Amino acid sequence: MKFVKMHGCGNDYIYVDGSVEKIAQEDKPALAKRLSDRHFGVGGDGVIFINPSGEADFEMEMYNADGSRAEMCGNGIRCVAKYVYDRGLTSKKKISIISAGQVKELKLAIQDKKVVFVKVNMGSPEFMPEPEVMEAPEIVNMMKLPAEQITAGAKQMIDEPIFLFGNEYRMTCVSMGNPHAVLFVEDLKELAIEKLGSAIENHTLFPKRTNVEFVKVVDRSTIEMRVWERGTGETLACGTGACAAAAACMVNNLTDEQVTAKLAGGDLEIFWDKEQNRMFMTGSATFVFEGEIAV
């Protein structure tokens, strides 16, 4: 099977042209897990199949490093855009890509006939844990929130307390088509991200688990963050996570509507158009190498 390794701000995935490589659907989770292994496979944060689509220009079919399906990836979708343009699968500078039923519109910035930046309409942020949140008494037990403030499956979660390992953190939950829990911290360097990230990812508040962003607000236009991705662990960047973090900052009046999100793998520009209620993310996408592996 032929593949290409790409990354967006260090968030690296293995990309496979699904129109050429015919892999049985039931085999994809195990294959994604094997290929993502950084010691015995190709190595990456997951695997993305680029497929034909009748609903958009292309489909992005995404798997995390543990083989689980993912709904959306902002860095991944930018790489898909670069792949299809640079490889001659499209000549359009405005394309649509569908992932798990969500269609995103992308604008491609071209230089020397190659994509250098991609601007993605990431849609509207929703301040919810996720649609299938557990019953209210369970949330009260785990988070010590007043029961009357919680409606199962409908409660917005903005600047709510969550208690972990004897400490209280303030959490804002944001869906960007996939779930995110954003926590504000003062010190990112000394953060016990494996301990905290894993605990929140697998918290009973999130039946399907969640991505976690730890954010330090630098000023009204700049944030720094570290990312714990569901099914993968800490990654160098996360596009939807950067959007979720920016949205959480804005709704808590910590930043303005345009911010630079500084991640370990690079910077992303995030803008929340309040009139359209749409978040726009702009960033790079990079080829690393291509190869062929026995499947």
Per residue in 29-84, pLDDT (tens digit) is 999 999 999 999 999 999 999 999 999 999 999 999 999 999 999 999 999 999 99
Q: For residue 136, how many C-alpha atoms fall within 13 Å in the half-sphere facing its CB?
A: 11
Residue 153 has pLDDT above 60, yes or no: no
d(CA 38, CA 103): 31
Which residue of the set 9, 79, 173, 238 is catalytic?
238
Which residue of the set 73, 173, 243, 249 is catalytic?
73
DSSP 8-state code for residue 241: H
**CB 8 within 8 Å of CB 76:** yes
Q: Give the domains, in start order, of the chain with CATH numbers.
A: 2-121+283-292 (3.10.310.10), 136-276 (3.10.310.10)
Residue 150 has pLDDT above 60, yes or no: no
Q: Is 243 a catalytic residue?
A: no
d(CA 128, CA 130): 5
Position 65, amino acid: A
Q: Residue 136 has what pLDDT?
A: 34
d(CA 243, CA 238): 9
Q: Is 9 a catalytic residue?
A: no
Which SS3 state, helix, strand or coil, does residue 31 take? helix
Which SS3 state, helix, strand or coil, does residue 38 take? coil
Residue 60: name the closest of 88, 96, 24 by CA. Answer: 96
Taking only the tens place, the pLDDT of each residue in 213-229 is 999 999 999 999 999 99
**Secondary element (H or E) of residue 8:** strand 2-8
- Banded pLDDT at 130 (limits 50, 70, 90): low
